[in-house]
C-alpha cells in the first residue's frame, strides 16, 4: 500500500495554498479550476504519488460546516493498493463487520481517477481505500 492523499479542511483555502506552496515549496493543482467553480477543491502535490486535497468549509462534514470554527482539520486519508489487495480488504471489512460508509465510488486521486470505498477506524477516523483501474 501507499499513501495516496490526505484531505485537509481549510477555513481559508487561499492561505492554506499560500503556506504549502510558498513556505513548503510544493506545487498547487486545480487552483484555476477551483476558482472558476469547475473543481470542488484545489490540491497540493507532495510527490508523484501523493497529494493533499484542500477542502473549503462547504465540503466539511455536516456538523463541522455549520460551526466553521470547531472542526477537525483532517477530513480523511487515502490508501491506494492493487485491485487484488482492495478486494481482499473489502472481504476483511465485511467479515469484521466494519461498515462501508460510502462506495464503491469513482473519485480523483494522486494518480487520476480510481475506485474507492470509505470506512472508519476504531477512533472514528475516516479512511478511503482505492485502486486505480488499468488504463
Q: What is the CA radius of gyration of the chain?
A: 15
Residues of the chain with pLDDT under 50: 64-65, 70, 135
Residue reference for cell 468549509: 57
Q: Cis peptide leading into 10, omega within 30 of 0?
A: no
Dihedral sign from CA coordinates of 74, 33, 62, 81: negative
What pLDDT does 123 receive? 62
| pLDDT at residue 75, as a whole number | 83
Longest CA–CA separation in the chain, Å: 46
Q: Are 15 and 8 in contact (CB under 8 A)?
A: no
pLDDT for position 23: 82
Distance CA 117, CA 90 (A): 9
| Rounded CA separation 80/6 (Å) | 12
Q: What are the tens digits of pLDDT across the range 39-71?
A: 999 999 999 999 999 999 898 876 644 555 545
Per-residue model confidence (pLDDT) at position 66: 57
Specify the CATH superfamily of domain 2-131: 2,3-Dihydroxybiphenyl 1,2-Dioxygenase, domain 1 (3.10.180.10)
Amino acid at each position: 500500500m501507499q499513501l495516496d492523499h490526505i484531505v485537509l479542511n481549510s477555513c481559508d483555502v487561499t492561505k492554506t495554498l499560500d503556506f504549502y506552496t510558498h513556505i513548503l515549496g510544493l506545487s498547487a493543482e486545480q487552483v484555476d479550476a477551483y476558482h472558476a467553480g469547475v473543481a470542488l477543491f484545489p490540491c497540493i502535490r507532495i510527490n508523484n504519488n501523493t497529494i493533499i486535497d484542500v477542502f473549503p468549509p462547504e465540503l466539511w462534514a455536516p456538523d463541522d460546516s455549520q460551526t466553521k470554527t470547531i472542526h477537525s482539520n483532517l477530513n480523511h486519508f487515502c490508501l491506494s493498493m492493487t485491485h487484488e489487495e482492495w478486494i481482499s480488504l473489502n472481504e476483511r471489512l465485511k467479515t469484521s463487520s466494519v461498515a462501508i460508509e460510502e462506495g464503491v465510488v469513482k473519485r480523483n486521486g494522486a494518480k487520476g481517477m480510481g475506485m474507492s470505498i470509505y470506512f472508519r477506524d476504531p477512533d472514528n477516523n475516516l479512511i478511503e481505500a482505492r485502486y486505480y483501474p488499468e488504463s
